[in-house]
Amino acid sequence: MAIEVLFNSKVCNRKSGLALWLGHLAGQEDKGIDERVPVHHRHLPQTHLLVFRPVLRIVSINSPLVQLVQFIAQHDDGLFAVDAVDEHKPIGKSVVMARKLHSITESTRIVEAHLLPCATVSLNGTNSKTPPTLIDGKMATENCDAVNMDPDIELLSDEEIERDAEAFKEQGNAFYIKKDYTEAFNYYTKAIDMSPKNASYYGNRAATLMMLCRYREALEDSQQAVRLDNSFMKGHLREGKCHLSLGNAMAASRCFQKVLELEPDNSQAQQELKNAESILEYERMAEIGFEKRDFRMVVFCMDRALEGASACHKFKILKAECLALLGRYPEAQSVASDILRIDSTNADALYVRGLCLYYEDCIDKAVQFFVQALRMAPDHDKARLACRNAKALKAKKEEGNKAFKEGNFEAAYDLYSEALTIDPNNIKTNAKLYCNRATVGSKLKKLDQAIEDCTKAIKLDETYIKAYLRRAHYMDTEQYEEGVRDYEKVYQTEKTKEHKHLLKTAQLELKKSKRKDYYKILGVDKNATEEEIKKAYRKRALLHHPDRHSSASTEVQKEEEKKFKEVGEAFSVLSDTKKKARYDSGQDLEDDGMNMGDFDANNIFKAFFGGPGGFSFE
């Protein structure tokens, strides 16, 4: 920068149109940028005190900035002065004072400026009403009085400019070698400011920016370098590396091929070309994997591609999206958040962030991110679809909940079923929907379907405690071992007193299921009365008595005799109040010396039917 503009905060509005515009013009003065900067009176609304202090050298008195200042002075009754002084010499403060200005409608073109050594320049204009005009890209001055220039001022020769620029470059090189890339960048920038047509200066700054991981800026410098010198091999090589780091492997390949045209034996370009081809192959494989819903393959391919394209947001977003689809939400959120810290308006990152929340069943927050993504990119199809699914899923689930609370179980079952078809990828929400439908199924006496829905919910989310608890229906269908496994899983996950009690109950039921079921043997319910137990024994004892099957085969006789003994054993326990209580509580009857193998079923039969003559088979 040729001129640094300092504003005294006590007397000047830093954000005024004049302050901002002159600062912009001063900053662009010696960069050779060709652009038009319109100036209107609305930009210059009031009086300001501006202090200009030269940093290195001031711009030429023929530059647009100085001519603009001169023109402003002409329209301000001469109350405008510029003193450009060497900051190391105590000549005095440099001051520019401006009062209310007339309308300025002419545009000003920025042209390449010649530099002057530090000296005192005084500009005083007349009351001309005609603004400066452009002639062949330069500011005309025929309507302005000649500028009074100090006789000590000397123009820098081209050789001096190049020498100074080279000095800055060498200083930049020294800092680069020391790995002080920030300082190296500053000195390369100064070299470019001095000599903006030198391709190597842009190439050096590009190399520095690459070390600072500022690949997009490095790409711009590399491209400028090869525009200035198309035979600049290092420029093409660095441009290719920037393209590759940003994930544009096709453009990178073209750059490396250009390097090989210039230097066919360039080993670095040959290797980089292979790297670009590898990245293109990983992109192809990832595309195929995504179509096949092989998200693990996509993550693998993107990890490999990012090894050579570390700054590629596209690869990172695809990886994050697939991590979300795999249920690895913290990893996906981390990748998306890293991108949003760099670029808070990145629609893809906003979409992935919303997708993670959506899949974690935080639907309201997810919708906010989808909406924000659509604001940034209205044509973002994935964000639009996800937003629509999220809203539909929430609405259908709420309808099902409402129907269930109202006791309309058939409608609730159908609504949960419809909700399950909206988005198969939403694992957590679908797990809840399956569990809800299982609850409704049990109300509708669809016990097998309820168990199956609980199993589906657990398959989707192995940590879903409620699904394990509701699958306790297993015990009602005599699947005791499965029930115990569920409660063991619950207790391992959440070791509460309630879960411990449920586990013990399930273990007891399992233990009871492995002994003889006396109620089943007699064919009565567990709540059967004493009279019902007696009637059941009478019926079963007569049915299986050995005398009744005396003419049957030996095998049948043995089977019926076994059943007869079991009926007698069951009756001896269930007809005794104490034994029945111990049996119902799951205690082993043998623990109290009750050896059920020693009793005689015939004695029980005789006692029940009243002795030897009480009953006989004909």
CATH number of the domain bearing residue 538? 1.10.287.110
- The crossing angle, in degrees rounded to 10, of helices 215-228 and 233-245 is 150
CA distance 282 to 301: 5
Q: How confident is the model at residue 431 (pLDDT cuts 50, 70, 90)?
A: very high
pLDDT at residue 220 in the model: 96
pTM value is 0.57
194 lies in a domain? yes
Same domain, 172 and 258: yes
Residues 479 and 575 in one domain: no
Q: Among residues of the chain, what percentage have pLDDT more than 70?
A: 66
Reported for 383-389, long-range contacts at CB under 8 A and 24+ positions apart, including other chains, are 383/347, 383/350, 383/351, 383/354, 386/351, 386/354, 386/355, 386/358, 387/354, 389/358, 389/422, 389/423, 389/426
pLDDT at residue 160, rounded to an integer: 86
Confidence of residue 68 (pLDDT cuts 50, 70, 90): low
Phi then psi dihedrals of residue 96, to 5 deg: -125, 125
In a domain, 547, yes or no: yes
Are 383 and 336 a contacting pair, CB within 8 Å? no
Lowest mean pLDDT among 15-29, 287-301, 330-344, 522-536: 15-29
In DSSP terms, 134 is beta-bridged to 139
What pLDDT is attached to residue 114?
29
In a domain, 43, yes or no: no
Confidence of residue 568 (pLDDT cuts 50, 70, 90): confident
- Average pLDDT rounded to a whole number, residues 575-584: 82
Instruction: Indicate the residue among 254, 279, 304 that finishes a domain.
Output: 279
Check whether 140 has a pLDDT greater than 70.
Answer: no
Q: For 163-167, 402-406, 578-582, which range has the lowest pLDDT when averaged over its residues?
A: 578-582
Residues 172 and 192 placed together within one structural domain of the fold: yes
If asked whether residues 530 and 490 sit together in one domain, one would say no
Query: Taking a C-beta distance cutoff of 8 angstroms, is the pair 388, 456 a contact?
Result: no
DSSP string, 351-368: HHHHHHHHHTT-HHHHHH
Which of 14-18, 424-428, 565-569 is predicted with the least confidence, judged by mean pLDDT? 14-18
User: How far, in whole angstroms, is CA 86 from its chain's centroid?
Assistant: 53
pLDDT at residue 53 in the model? 35
Is residue 551 scored above 90 in pLDDT?
Answer: no
In the prediction, which pLDDT does 158 show? Answer: 80
Mean pLDDT of the chain: 75
State yes or no: pLDDT of 345 exceeds 80. Answer: yes
Residue 480 has pLDDT above 60, yes or no: yes
Q: Are residues 474 and 526 in the same domain?
A: no
Residue 134 confidence (pLDDT) above 50? no
258 membership: H or E segment, kind and range? helix 249-262
- Which one-letter amino acid corresponds to residue 539? K
**Together in a domain, 476 and 550:** no
Q: CATH no. for residue 258?
A: 1.25.40.10
Shared-domain flag, residues 413 and 505: yes
What is the rounded distance in angstroms from the CA atom of residue 121 to the CA atom of residue 103? Answer: 26
The whole-number pLDDT of residue 131 equals 39
Q: Are residues 508 and 523 located together in one domain of the fold?
A: no
Q: Is the pLDDT confidence value at 34 over 60? A: no
Residue 554 has, within 13 A of its CA and on its CB side, a CA count of 0
**What are the CA-CA distances from residue 584 to residues 537, 581, 587 (Å)?**
18, 5, 8
Task: Select, from the ranges 40-54, 160-174, 564-578, the one with the highest average predicted confidence (pLDDT).
Answer: 160-174
One domain for residues 171 and 234: yes
Q: Given a cut of 50, is residue 43 above it in pLDDT?
A: no
Domain end call among 215, 248, 279: 279
Quick one: CA torsion of 579, 583, 587, 588, rounded to 10 degrees? 70
Do 405 and 451 share a domain, yes or no? yes
Model pLDDT, residue 63: 56
Instruction: Tell me what pLDDT residue 70 has.
Output: 56
How far apart CA 52 and CA 8 sit, in angstroms, is 11
* Residue 425, token pair as written in the block: 């990828």
| Mean pLDDT value across residues 152-164 | 72
Comparing 86 with 15, which gets the higher pLDDT? Answer: 15
Return the CA Rg of the chain: 45
Q: Select from 496, 477, 480, 499 the least CA-distant residue to 488.
A: 499
Q: Which of 394-408, 425-439, 588-602 has the lowest mean pLDDT?
A: 588-602
Q: Is residue 557 part of a domain?
A: yes
Q: Is the predicted pLDDT of residue 118 greater than 50, yes or no?
A: no
Question: Residue 473: its pLDDT value, please?
Answer: 64
Q: pLDDT confidence of 470, banded at 50, 70, 90?
A: confident
Instruction: Identify the pLDDT of residue 430.
Output: 94
Q: Is residue 120 part of a domain?
A: no
Range of the domain at 493: 391-514
275 CB neighbour count, 10 Å cutoff = 19
Which pLDDT value is given to residue 521? 85
Among left, alpha and beta (phi > 0; psi -120 to 50; other), residue 578 is: alpha
Specify whether the CB–CB gap between 388 and 395 falls below 8 A: no
Whether residue 329 is contained in a domain is answered as no
- Kindly state whether residues 505 and 533 are assigned to the same domain: no
Same domain, yes or no, for 269 and 195? yes
- Asked if residue 520 has pLDDT above 60, the reply is yes
The DSSP bridge pattern shows strands 138-139 and 134-135 to be antiparallel
Neighbours of 335 (CB within 10 A): 23
Return the SS3 of 564: helix
| Residue 380 within any structural domain of the chain | no
Contact 39, 104 (CB under 8 A): yes
- The answer on pLDDT for 9 being more than 50 is no
Confidence of residue 545 (pLDDT cuts 50, 70, 90): confident
Q: What's the pLDDT at 415?
A: 95
Pick from 490, 514, 538: which residue ends a domain? 514
The three-class DSSP label of residue 5 is strand
Q: How far is CA 205 from CA 161, 268, 312, 355, in A?
A: 19, 20, 21, 39
- For range 343-357, the mean pLDDT: 94
Q: In one letter, which amino acid is 407? A: G
Total domains in the chain come to 3
Q: What burial class does residue 453 get, using C-beta atoms within 10 Å of its C-beta: 0-12 exposed, 13-18 middle, 19+ buried?
A: buried
Is 227 inside a domain boundary?
yes
